[in-house]
Amino acid sequence: MRRTPLLLVLAVAALLAACTPAPSGPPVASLRAPSGAAPSLPASPPPTGAPDAGADTAPPPDSSSPGGVPPSGEDPTGGVPPAGDAPAGGAQPQRRLDDSPEREAALWNAYHQCLLDHGAQRNTAREAAAAPAGAPGPEIISVLDPVPAEAEAACTHAFPLMPPELDPDRNPHYRDDFLAQVACMQDRGAPVHLTKDSGDPTLPSWTYDDGAQVPADLAQIEHDCELEAFGGTP
């Protein structure tokens, strides 16, 4: 029987190996903003820049959260009513675009205290993470999820409404304002881009660039650009 020369066998094997494509590596995951709000901002906008209307028990911002200063002589708490008491006229408390961290915290604390008074449980771990012992800034009150339905129903009056400028249903220029905010963030060096991953195909959103290094002052950039785009230059 005729045998195939060894050199020919080796040559064919080498040729087949060279023509076999190498396996591709795993895809690079896109970095996403955490809820939000932006990194280290417990009450910042949601992960991808979408409105925060659904954050029923969102914690208030910690002392590092940027915020505008109320007009001179104004109560820094914004006249927040005691926990469990409805504002005058039965209106829900209204957050403002230029809220200070103190007023923002006071609004959420009043709501969370109401939930606690009606059967919710305190989230001490989240409180400690948001406001470490000895750290400057307002006291933080937080509750555990899930919140009892009875507590939510009893405290509807105390839930802080988002600033009207950030509510697509109340701001007819919301889309243009949001696009201006993202452009402002990009101009200031934030590694972000527009996306449709907001949960609502009619609303724009933003997320981080793939492999981006988040700048330490991103929270301040986002806050300043939000004020500039939605409410005028801070």
**Residues forming beta bridges with residue 193, ordered by sequence position:** 207
More confident residue, 172 or 69: 172
What span, in angstroms and rounded, lies between the C-alpha atoms of 95 and 107? 8
What span, in angstroms and rounded, lies between the C-alpha atoms of 9 and 5? 7
**pTM of the predicted model as reported, rounded to 2 decimal places:** 0.58
What span, in angstroms and rounded, lies between the C-alpha atoms of 113 and 215? 34
What span, in angstroms and rounded, lies between the C-alpha atoms of 66 and 44? 10
Four-residue CA torsion sign, 30, 33, 34, 39: positive
How do residues 70-112 score in pLDDT, each as one tens digit?
A: 333 344 334 444 433 444 456 899 999 999 989 999 999 999 9
Q: Where are the domains of the chain?
A: 37-53+163-234, 55-161
CB distance 169 to 181 below 8 Å = no
The per-residue pLDDT for 94 is 96
Tokens of 39: 């990194």
CB distance 197 to 48 below 8 Å = yes
Cβ-Cβ contacts under 8 Å for 138 (sequence gap 6 or more): 60, 63, 101, 102, 105, 106, 109, 131
% of the chain with per-residue pLDDT over 90: 47
Tokens of 201: 């195909």
